Amino acid sequence: MTTFSLAGRTALVTGGSRGIGGAIVELFANSGAKVGFCQFGDNRSADALTGKLASSGVTVAHTSCDVSKEDQVEALGHWAGQILGHIDILVNCAGIGGDLLFEELTVEAFDRMIGVHLRGTFLITRQFYPAMRDKGWGRVINFSSQLAYKGAPGQSHYCAAKGGIVGFTRALSYEAAPHGVTVNSIAPGPVETDMLMGLSDGWRAMKQAQLPIGRFGHVNEIAPTALLLASEAGSFYIGQTLSPNGGDVLL
């Protein structure tokens, strides 16, 4: 097995129908892994991705799951066992956006943000981590954000969720590492995804001017960080948060 090969490994990616998650699905599959992913309300993109990969001779499977719902996560676990078998690599990439000043932030909006990002990361990891621990090998890769470190107006609920993921990652890594399971996270900066494209031209121009690199990132510049952490090359990373962010925040 070469250093970055995933041959013989099985991976599950949440939020894998498009954006960063979709890029990870594609990269992992092309790196030799057996890959499945879940999405919620995005069947069209999921079918397009699986069709694209099938045209190049690569088969991936997908299903629907709201990662904030315990019963749906349990159903995902059953699906994965039937379709994929044992999960070696878990990528918690499911996420939502939202821009609300604190005075406008409702309990419902706060709970939904925390539910998808932080509760979802917990539920999904709880579903698949025990089997990794018992087998003595595994990779858990969580997605945070550079905003967990620097904050942003209108993003208190998002920053709270993403900051929680950093803390969750660090704590679980202490428990998991002795069992051969690494737990790390990725905190991307602003990346050209549907979420970013939905923001105003003025905001995009302002944000781009702030970046030392002078541009937004691309999903294919984030996915290799996940490959590093998933492969044998990432075996010495424990409880770390890697941040490919174009200089938006210097950690």
Q: Which residues are catalytic?
A: 158
> Cβ of 247: how many Cβ atoms within 10 Å?
12
State how beta strands 138-143 and 34-39 pair: unpaired
**CA-closest candidate to residue 123, choices 73, 64, 173:** 73
**CA-closest candidate to residue 96, choices 195, 242, 7:** 195
Q: What is the DSSP string of 97-147?
A: -----GGG--HHHHHHHHIIIIIHHHHHHHHHHHHHHHHT-EEEEEE--TH
**For residue 18, what is the DSSP state?**
S
**For residue 162, what is the DSSP state?**
H
Instruction: Report whether 217 contacts 243 (CB < 8 A).
Output: no
